[in-house]
């Protein structure tokens, strides 16, 4: 039987299937069910900086306009208490790695939160760093530097692995990944998924677009994992977004990933998907006579970056050169 064990961010996983951060992982009971269904690890529902700031500003404006700092501190403490309880309860219930998730976009007090999350027993911390830069006076490079600053402060206060989950709105993910590794990141996840905005043309209002990802979103993660894992091989990679079949998992591993984070497929088809997808991976390994994930991981990564760049640039001509 082929072996599905893998190592991600220094964590030993029984298989590469990680349940991604969402409402699917907001209770110890749910997390235990994912473990029983076969998951290799779970990422807890995120602690959101944006939610804390929004709630504190809402209360300030309507009830206590002069109590800003106090209210933000109070709400942070309240949410952190709830979150550390989720970590402790999940660790008590589960034997697989439990990864905490902080969704943040400013360099504030997250290093202190991270230390408390570590003390609560989390096996690793995933920094979910995602924002869109729209300022007309934006300074080039400041967005990437904010990632590094947040990581450095968190890594300085913790000993557990720190994982950075990136958005797909980066000019050069490889350069940033190299700097993240140099500043203490043990792994990166490519990519985070932005809220999908749509327009209701009858009511002339903004509305939510497609909530769940589909297989069409996988190509971007495959491209950048294939490139980055060859250029910066010392850090671990996980794919996120569009992973919906066992075949998709195999593709990610071939590109150089050590694991995949999956959410939408579980919302669509439930916990049975874990066994189905992992069996598909194992069947493929048997057909191709691979006894372990390490024996084929990265076989399709772009080791020759110069050729990889030429290949990418010619794709447009290949697909559309004959169109009139």
Predicted confidence at residue 322, as pLDDT, reads 54
Question: How confident is residue 54, by pLDDT bands cut at 50, 70 and 90?
Answer: very low
Window from 63-77, 200-214, 242-256 with minimum mean pLDDT: 63-77
Mean pLDDT of the chain: 86
Supply the pLDDT for residue 77: 73
More confident residue, 170 or 214: 170
For residue 272, the model assigns a pLDDT of: 96
Residue 107 included in any domain? yes
Note whether residue 1 is domain-resident. Answer: no
The domain total for the chain is 1
Residue 48 has what pLDDT? Answer: 64
Dist CA 297 CA 291 (whole Å): 12
Least-confidence region, from 45-49, 137-141, 160-164, 304-308 = 304-308
Handedness of CA 293, 299, 305, 308 (dihedral sign): negative
Question: Would you say residue 218 lies in a domain?
Answer: yes
Whole-angstrom CA distances from 225 to 25, 174, 187, 192, 243 are 25, 9, 12, 13, 14
Tell me the C-alpha distance between 184 and 246, whole Å.
31
Question: Considering the domain boundaries, does residue 52 fall inside one?
Answer: yes
149-184 tens-digit pLDDT: 999 989 998 999 999 999 888 889 999 999 999 999
pLDDT > 90 fraction of the chain, expressed in percent and rounded: 60
Stretch 21-26: mean pLDDT: 96
In 3D space, the residue among 129, 166, 316 whose CA is nearest the CA of residue 241 turns out to be 166
Domain housing 46: 6-320
Q: Specify the higher pLDDT residue, 299 or 58.
A: 299
Residue 91, both tokens: 């660790």
- Determine the pLDDT at residue 64: 55
Q: How far is 157 from 165, CA to CA, in rounded Å? A: 19
**Is the model more confident about 302 or about 60?**
302
Helix, strand, coil abundance in the chain, percent, nearest 5: 50, 15, 35
In CATH, what number is assigned to the domain containing residue 107?
3.20.20.70
How does residue 212 score in pLDDT terms, banded at 50, 70 and 90?
low
Q: How far apart are CA 10 and CA 227, in angstroms?
A: 21
CB atoms within 10 A of CB 30: 18
286-313 pLDDT, tens digit per residue, is 999 999 999 999 999 988 665 566 546 6
Give me 192's structure tokens: 């985070």
Look at residue 165 in the predicted model and tell me its pLDDT. Answer: 96
| Dist. CA 145–CA 179, nearest whole Å | 9
Give whole-number Cα distances, 93 to 100, 214, 299, in Å: 15, 31, 37
DSSP state of 167: P
With residue 126 as reference, give the H or E element that holds it.
strand 124-129
Instruction: Say whether pLDDT at 258 is over 80.
Output: yes
What is the structure's pLDDT at 103?
82
Q: What are the structure tokens assigned to 84, written together? A: 């550390």
Query: CA-to-CA distance for 308 and 118, rounded, in angstroms?
Result: 40
């Amino acid at each position: 039987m082929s072996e599905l064990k893998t190592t991600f961010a220094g964590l030993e996983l029984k298989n590469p299937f990680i349940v991604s951060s969402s409402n699917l992982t907001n209770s110890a009971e749910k997390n235990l069910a994912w473990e029983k269904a076969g998951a290799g690890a779970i990422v807890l529902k995120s602690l959101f900086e944006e939610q804390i700031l929004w709630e504190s500003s809402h209360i300030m404006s309507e009830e206590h306009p002069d109590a800003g700092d106090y209210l933000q501190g109070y709400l942070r403490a309240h949410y952190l208490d709830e979150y550390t309880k989720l970590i402790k309860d999940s660790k008590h219930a589960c034997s697989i790695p439990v990864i905490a998730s902080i969704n943040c976009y400013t360099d504030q007090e997250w290093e202190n939160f991270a230390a408390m999350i570590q003390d609560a027993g989390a096996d690793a911390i995933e920094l979910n760093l995602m924002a869109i830069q729209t300022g007309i006076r934006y300074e080039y490079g400041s967005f990437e530097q904010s990632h590094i600053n947040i990581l450095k402060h968190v890594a300085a206060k913790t000993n557990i692995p720190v994982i950075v989950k990136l958005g797909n709105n980066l000019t050069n993910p490889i350069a940033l990944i190299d700097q993240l590794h140099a500043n203490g990141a043990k792994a990166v996840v490519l990519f985070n998924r932005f809220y999908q905005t749509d327009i209701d043309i009858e009511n002339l209002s903004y509305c939510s677009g497609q909530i769940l990802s589909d297989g069409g979103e996988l190509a971007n993660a495959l491209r950048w994992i294939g490139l980055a894992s060859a250029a910066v091989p010392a850090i671990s990679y996980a794919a996120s977004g569009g992973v919906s079949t066992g075949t998709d998992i195999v593709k990610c591993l071939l590109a150089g990933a050590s694991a995949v984070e999956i959410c939408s497929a579980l919302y669509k088809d439930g916990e049975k998907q874990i066994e189905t997808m992992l069996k598909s991976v194992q069947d493929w390994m048997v057909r191709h006579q691979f006894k372990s994930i390490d024996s084929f991981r990265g076989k399709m990564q772009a080791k020759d970056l110069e050729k990889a760049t030429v290949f990418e640039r010619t794709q447009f001509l290949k697909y559309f050169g004959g169109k009139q």
